[in-house]
Structure 1
Amino acid sequence: MDQKVASPAAEGRTISWADEVVRRLLAANRNAKRFIAIVTDILTCALAAWLSFMIRLGVWLDLSHEVILFSIFEIFLTITIFAFSGVYNNIFRFYGLRGLGQIARCCVIIAIPSVAVFGYVGFGGIPRTVSVIFPLLLFALVALNRIVVRFVLFDLQEAVPQRHRVLIYGAGRAGRQLALSLQHEGGYELLAYVDDDQNLIGQWLDGVPILTRDEMAELLDYREIELVFLAIPSLRRSERAKLVEQIRKFGAHVLTLPSVDEIVSGRVSVSDLREIQVVDLLARDPVDPDSDLLEHEIANQVVLVTGAGGSIGSELARQILLLRPKRLILFEMSEPSLFAIEQELRKSLELSGTETEIIPELGNLRNEATANRLMERWRPHIVFHAAAYKHVPLIEHNTVAGVENNVVGTLNAALAAQKHGISKFVLISTDKAVRPTNVMGASKRVCELILQALAGMGICTTTFSMVRFGNVLGSSGSVVPKFRKQIAEGGPITLTHREMTRYFMTIPEAAQLVIQAGAMSVGGEVFLLDMGDPVKIYDLAQAMISLAGRTVRDEANPDGDIEIVEIGLRPGEKLYEELLIGAEANSTKHDRIFHAREDSLAWPILQPHIEHIKSAASVGDAASIRKILSELVDGFEG
């Protein structure tokens, strides 16, 4: 690590040993800097004492007994007075007239015992005027010392245009192209490459060494690397998460190149780099989708997506459009949301040149006639029912509207699909439907019961299935956009409980898995998506603060930037979410999709309860709705 590192981005500049000494001094902690200052002052005292004798006697002196005795006395006196006066608490970067005045006062105090001992008493045969000359020389030399140190370490360094010190992780083609781009951009100083390929370790690229991960940690520790560029687009998400976590501990900022699929041209430049996203920290690698499953029910078919303007519905529509359906029906009750997704998809159509017909349908499935008109008019082959109210606290305070929209809307859509011979109907469900403590989760579990009951009737021509999964990153109800906004505003980040955990996956992956699960359904299945390991929301908040280049403010770090505040669980909220009600889930032919074995109710038993819910909703009777939900749903207590 003591070698000189040539940098293609530094325009021929070489990092000298002097640069390295300056960097290490600047990076040292306060105690180390205080020790260096004390040692320097000891040497300065000795020099001042020797010069005092030289000036008094006018001859060159060796280190005689008198000089040594005087020097020891003055060193002890000077360091003691400097320490008690707070001289070593000053910060060199901001040293000025006030600091020089403090040293002058200390030198006056030092002169008093010096003159008393050597000038008045005449101790040790030392000339009396030496005790008067010494404080004057001491002030001049210490002041000069402080001024020179400030100029060399700070003023001179700040006068030189600073380059960002960079490390590139990945010495392959992308890394080399990125290094060339840095060279043309200017303002960057490439110190090293890091790579996992043992054949590359120890070699040099254009004067820049290729290091191991362990050597990277050492470099990050003492060279104050500012930026780390990840230039391995094919790096697995789990490996990326571990690597980012390792780098973050050293305070370096991490940027990454897009994935291989996102890099279209053969060139790689600084402009291609992007910030590390929360998804990069999910230690869970996505599984490549099964193209046969994706296209099985979509290609050249008429497809309906309800709730097409929402987070999941809109991503389903995007993924479905890529699979070239004959017609894509977008159903949504929010006019702005429907307009936005329609315009986006039409633009995608123009760029791709495909001939899918996009039909925007505005309406509300709580209206039975609307549901029947929709199914009868377009006769879709498959329906993805994503329309739902999903915000837990809002639905808790708006029980009637939430249950009517979720339960009655799903009932109307499912019965209309059955009536008009729709081939497949896929419900987008949630992990909150498992032993729910809130109205939203209970309403979604009732939706599952409706589809299970209809599928169990035996005479149904429509294949009903449900796909249950947890939170998706970036959805309207996700904590991620909320945390991002709070960080941008300077905090604090508010979370309900330090121990709260949730399952997370990306919206595109969730949408792809929903489509594949729908293709595997044969009737009445509750599919579970493998969400990986649950994530602590507190850990997520810490990671997002770090990614934003800020620090957490807490008891251990009171000078941090962003505070994390617990505000308590909201009504109906759980600390931990589950994906399975029963004890068993069977694997399917897809690694990330499982088939849950869940209890269900026969339609003749369930139907009267649903009618009671509809009646209670029509008169705004929230108490009755909660009572019926508690009778139907395991775990919900109303």
Structure 2
Amino acid sequence: MNFKTVSGKIYDGDNFLKLSDVRYLPRWIVILIDVILIAISLFISYFVVAKLNVSPATFLKFYQKFFIILGVNLGFMFWFRTYSGIIRHSTFVDLWKIFLTCFSTGLTLTVISYISLWFFGHKLFFIPILFIYFALSFTSLFVFRLVVKEFFQIIREMKNDRQRTNILILEIGESSVAIARAIIANPNVPYSLKGFVTSRKDSTRALLLGKKIYTRRLIEKSTKEELGLDGVIIIKELISPADLESWVSLFLEKDLKIFKSPSVQKFRDNDFAQSIKSLQIEDLLNRKAIKIDNEAIQPRHLGKTILVTGGAGSIGSEIVRQVAKFSPACIVVLDQAETPLYDIELEMLESFPKIRFEFILADISNRHRLEPVFQKYNFSMVYHAAAYKHVPLVEKNPHEAILVNILGTKNLSNLSSKYKVNRFVMISTDKAVNPTNVMGASKRSAELYVQSLQNIEGNVTKFITTRFGNVLGSNGSVIPHFKRQIEAGGPITVTHKDIVRYFMTIQEACELVLQAGTMGKGGEIFVFDMGQPVKIVELAKRMIRLSGLKPDEDIDIVFTGLRPGEKLYEELLSDDSKTQPTHHSGIMISKDPSANFEEITKLTNLITKAALRRDNADIVVILKKIVPEFKSQNSVFEKLDI
């Protein structure tokens, strides 16, 4: 908004003038104000000298000297362009221009005075007046710009405060103070810092960066409105899981928004505002940070050709991303889902332009399609992530699970052994342990077949199985489902009030897959540390509160009953298995019972034929022979256990 727009608003009767919207004043107004200031400075200079009873001799009248001084000063203003900058954005350069203008004016007038003394016998200007004038004019011009700049800064802050979120920062350590400084110094962040909050009791009267330090007790006994707060910023890395749980419970109870910020070292100035995000339910699952040994993993992939089956899925695509970081010669991404495969192709070609990729559309149950792929590429490692995994759907379509989860795994593992692939890493699931559904039993059958290949004559491939629980954010997982239900206004549907599950992020699950694939010697089933199980109904309530809503008031929770094949508790180890530790604290080796190669081959051939006949009852009967601990639950196949 320029001056003409401002005058138009006033003329039109809009007297509510938003000063922060005024972009700049016309240059002639800036010059006029500057001339008025230097004129006042000149009057004051003569007034001060007059009060000292000093009457220098001169042959010019006062108004003549007045216009000469102003004329010289105005000339240097134009010379140094002191009027050209936008006042509110004045910098040291503008201050330097003012100094040069005033200094040059005083120097020029002094020279003129001594020339007058040389030719006419007396000075044109009294030198002390020029010194006083220099000091006053420089000060007045500088103060004018400083006042305008500070005025607009105050107006801007007042405007921004109305639009910003009033927040506290948790704790008063160095990292918290660094985040606070960054917020205060950055006018673009949508947060207004009101202070800090701590559990310490020795800081109640202190100020930090001029801001109040709130105690936990004050937060507990005050309402959100009394505190004048909207939210709290947490630096998650600095807080123990137990303390995080306690603080989050308090903040949610007070209906405060919870934001998370990385430590200052982890973000750059240009993305500071984007670095502070709302706390997600994934942050509250008490997962320990997992560290992997990149020095051991990289040699297994550097310059090698890698196959990832199911490479367009949530787990497979993350394996592709992580493997690409280790500079392999080629990554072959195989999947039967056309659109997701095309999506991962676009992503990988953009993210890793120097890595060679091959994207193959194929069904792993078709050995005739797979064998030419193994013939063409000399695979060093195969990551087998392709599988049908949704329990209720597989329970209704057992034959499809057999063709993909068992026959597909059989095809890939046989070809890996035949073409002497160095390592074959299979992705399994905790649902394979004491399975209660077809999906889990089919994955356990695949585990048994892969293990049985390890010791057959002529095999050089190391067959490795990795087993873990639910993966946060994967296709069909509960958290994205709950988020969609909350966004739709509810209700959230939970199958049972007592159901619990283990959770792990996609990234850490895939990191552990790579680590286990590196450390495996062949025949092992690696089990990952999944942390503590989470009660799904509590997960739902937390997600509702983190969305700023209240369970059973804003969003209802409805219990729908266990789905076919679903059980209340998942297990990572079978009853008769033993574990042994590895050098990685997050990975154990499960010593599950194994199967004889000839026997498991015979049974998998039988079940494949049953699947091709679509004989679901026969399929489940054979599955129960392969996996004796498989007991159907909440399923039409329960009668087969009688």
Superposition TM-score, scaled by structure 1 size: 0.69
Q: Name the CA distance, whole Å, in 2 between partners of 1:440 and 1:304.
A: 24
- The match for 1:167 is 168
Please identify, of 271-280 and 397-406, the stretch whose mean Cα deviation from structure 2 is larger: 271-280
Give, as a single letter, the amino acid of the residue that structure 2 aligns with 1:285.
Answer: K
| Structure 2 Cα separation of the partners of residues 426 and 577 of structure 1 | 22
Instruction: State the match for 1:440 in structure 2.
Output: 439
Helix, strand or coil for the counterpart of 1:562? coil
Q: Is the 8 A contact 2:579 2:591 kept in 1?
A: yes
Instruction: Tell me by how many angstroms 1:224 deviates.
Output: 5.0
- Counterpart in the other structure of 1:12: none
Q: Distance in 1 between matches of 2:616 and 2:264?
A: 52
Please give the root-mean-square deviation of Cα atoms over the aligned residues, in Å. Answer: 2.4
Could you say if the C-alpha distance between residues 185 and 311 of structure 1 is closer, same or farther in structure 2, counting changes exceeding 3 Å?
Answer: closer
Q: Which residue of the partner structure matches residue 375 of structure 1?
A: 374
Structure 1: give runs of 5+ residues left out of the alignment: 1-159, 554-559
Match of 1:422 in 2: 421
Equivalent position of 1:74 in the other structure: none
Q: Deviations over 1:176-230 (max 9, x none)?
A: 23431576657x5533213579998864233202345455545667525321122
Q: Which structure 2 residues correspond to residues 34-433 of structure 1 after superposition, within 5 A?
A: 164-171=165-172, 172=175, 173-180=177-184, 189-194=192-197, 203-218=206-221, 222-231=226-235, 235=239, 239-258=243-262, 263-266=266-269, 269-350=272-353, 355-433=354-432
Query: How far apart are the structure 2 equivalents of 1:324 and 1:224?
Result: 53
> Aligned-pair distance for 1:292?
2.4
1:579 pairs with one of 572, 579, 599: 572
How much has 1:270 moved relative to structure 2?
3.6
- Quick one: which of 591, 596, 600 aligns to 1:602? 596
Residues 71-126 of structure 1 show CA distances to partners (whole Å, capped at 9, x for unaligned) of xxxxxxxxxxxxxxxxxxxxxxxxxxxxxxxxxxxxxxxxxxxxxxxxxxxxxxxx
State the AA in 2 paired with 1:562: I
Distance change in 2, residues 1:551/1:197 (3 Å): closer
Partner of 2:105: none
Residue 266 of structure 1 and its aligned partner are, at CA, apart by 4.6
Amino acid at match of 2:627: V
Looking at structure 2, the residues matched to 611 and 543 of structure 1 have their Cα atoms a distance apart, in angstroms, of 47
Q: Residue 623 of structure 1: CA displacement?
A: 1.4
The answer as to whether partners of 1:177 and 1:268 remain within 8 angstroms in 2 is: no
How far does residue 358 in structure 1 lie from its aligned partner after superposition?
A: 1.1
Q: Which residue of 2 aligns with 1:588?
A: 582
What percentage of residue pairs aligned between the two structures are identical? 37
SS at match of 2:195: strand
Provide the rounded CA distance (Å) in 2 between the counterparts of 1:238 and 1:328: 42
The answer on whether the counterparts of 1:449 and 1:601 sit within 8 Å (CA) in structure 2 is: yes
The 1:404–1:595 alpha-carbon spacing in structure 2 relative to 1, beyond 3 Å, is: same
Q: Distance in 2 between matches of 1:237 and 1:266?
A: 29
Deviations for 1:214-261, whole angstroms, at most 9, x for unmatched residues? Answer: 555456675253211224665566654443233212211111124678
| Secondary structure at the counterpart of residue 436 of structure 2 | coil
Partner of 1:628: 622
Q: What SS does the corresponding residue of 1:417 show, helix, strand or coil?
A: helix
Distance (whole Å) between structure 2 residues aligned to residue 615 and residue 297 of structure 1: 38
Larger radius of gyration: 2
d(CA) in 1 for partners of 2:271 and 2:253?
Answer: 28
Distance 1:477 1:190, change over 3 A: same
For 2:522, the aligned partner's letter is: G
Distance in 2 between the 1:367 and 1:449 partners? Answer: 21
| Contact 2:180–2:193 (8 Å) recurs in 1 | no
Give the Cα separation in 2 of the matches to 1:248 and 1:341.
Answer: 38
- Cα contact 2:577–2:593 (8 A) shared by 1: no
Cα distance in structure 1, aligned partners of 2:339 and 2:303: 28
Between the two proteins, the alignment pairs up a number of residues equal to 467
Shift in CA distance, 223/384, structure 1 to aligned 2, threshold 3 Å: same
Does the 8 Å contact 1:178/1:268 carry over to 2? no
Q: Indicate the residue corresponding to 2:29 in structure 1.
A: none
Q: 1:184 and 1:371, CA in 2 relative to 1: closer, same or farther beyond 3 A?
A: closer
**Where does residue 510 of structure 1 map in the other structure?**
509
- In the other structure, the counterpart of 1:137 is none
Q: 1:269 to 1:214 in 2, by over 3 A?
A: farther
Q: Please, which moves more after superposition, 512-521 or 449-458?
A: 449-458
Is contact 2:184–2:193 with CA below 8 Å preserved after alignment? no
Q: How many angstroms apart in 1 are the aligned matches of 2:322 and 2:200?
A: 36
Structure 2 distance, partners of 1:211, 1:357, is 56
What are structure 2's unaligned runs of at least 5 residues?
1-160, 632-636, 638-642
C-alpha distance in 2 between matches for 1:548 and 1:277: 9
Aligned-partner SS, 1:585: strand
